[in-house]
Structure 1
């Protein structure tokens, strides 16, 4: 029986009452602070001031805990709007915002199918907004938006982590590596890349995300209006 359907153990009088919700909240707090490496049943139990064995019955494995954590964050991903385009844009935006609040989500999103109630509710909202559109279009359209968001979010979070690790922001990085690129481009071996770096648009993270999403949504719109 999946964790979503398995009843919790009966309440026991104890100085530290437990529930799956409390366990998941503690795990998310650890992951938000120090990443997924900080999450284990032992560390979660310590954060709750209970012994690790107390967690069993509520959660059998770390994989179940990770599934519960992802589904809990999906409560923050609530697609809204009128019409398929607004709802798909809302799906993309709220997913990105959730990943920016919980960077560890970028390491888990897009993994095995998520079947928790919050995830299913979000999927229901998206599909309901696309009612009337042929399912042969709906399924790949939603998959395309999800694929774009997953890739964009993972790249953005990876860049944020690299920036923190290096101690350099984008401007400092450009100062450090700009001369190397100028010397390389001066050889004439990479004219297309040189043109992009020198003359192309330099978008910030928000603009990059919105522009790429517009390309995806425009393509879906062209298919729907055929």
Structure 2
């Protein structure tokens, strides 16, 4: 039985429900990451005894599942997408925006499928946009491919944000600090492709890089969907 199927216990002197518990857990994670979340800390946030929470949530993993589903409520499309490409594009961008608001989400993306009510609605909206365009296995691989791209890109972006905070150096500060060594290494002539990228490449921000990569992946999916089945 999943956490969503298990009934909640009756109300006691300090009113609790899973919605309040999850809200407190999300707030703690937003402030200090997943390491700041425990049933004991959530209980303290709600002025309740830790044992009270076990009537609602059996394990920290269940709590994480509920937290992810709560954020999936922010990822839900605001309106029905016009086509499959827009559906996958909206899913990717809204997931990225949610992860920037809740950085801990990046640590939980890409694991087991989200089976909470919001996660199921997101999955249904995404798959239904591709329904009938190809056989079900091709549709599943298409969604998995796009998901793999944006999950990796989001994790990379969040890792960079965390590194900036840990070191106190912005991307440009770090580049300036590392510049002399990189210049010396490139001057050896051993890294011509890297030298070309450094000297001739265009520096773009994370949002532009994410959007460009996403469109390339969607182009590849479109090409595959256009192939005859069999």
The aligned counterpart of 1:44 is: 42
Q: Deviations over 1:170-218 (max 9, x none)?
A: 1211210111111110000101000001101211101110010011000
The aligned counterpart of 1:59 is: 57
SS in 1 for 2:75: coil
Distance across 2 between alignment mates of 1:78 and 1:112? 19
Q: Deviations over 1:29-62 (max 9, x none)?
A: 0000011111000000000001101111100111
1:85 aligns with 2:108: no
Q: Deviations over 1:138-175 (max 9, x none)?
A: 11000001100110010000000001111011121121
Query: How many residues get paired?
Result: 224
The aligned counterpart of 1:145 is: 146
Distance across 1 between alignment mates of 2:3 and 2:38? 17
Q: How far has the Cα of 1:225 moved from its partner?
A: 2.1
Distance across 2 between alignment mates of 1:78 and 1:117? 11
Q: How far has the Cα of 1:137 moved from its partner?
A: 2.0
The aligned counterpart of 1:173 is: 174
Distance across 1 between alignment mates of 2:5 and 2:29? 25
Distance across 1 between alignment mates of 2:76 and 2:161? 25
Structure 1 moving runs of 4+ over 6 Å = none
The aligned counterpart of 1:32 is: 30
Gap runs ≥5 in structure 2: none
Q: Confirm or deny: 8 A CA contact 1:78 1:90 kept in the other structure.
A: no
Gap runs ≥5 in structure 1: none
Quote the RMSD (CA, aligned, Å): 0.9
TM-score, reference length from structure 1: 0.97
Q: Deviations over 1:67-99 (max 9, x none)?
A: 100111101112342000001000000000000
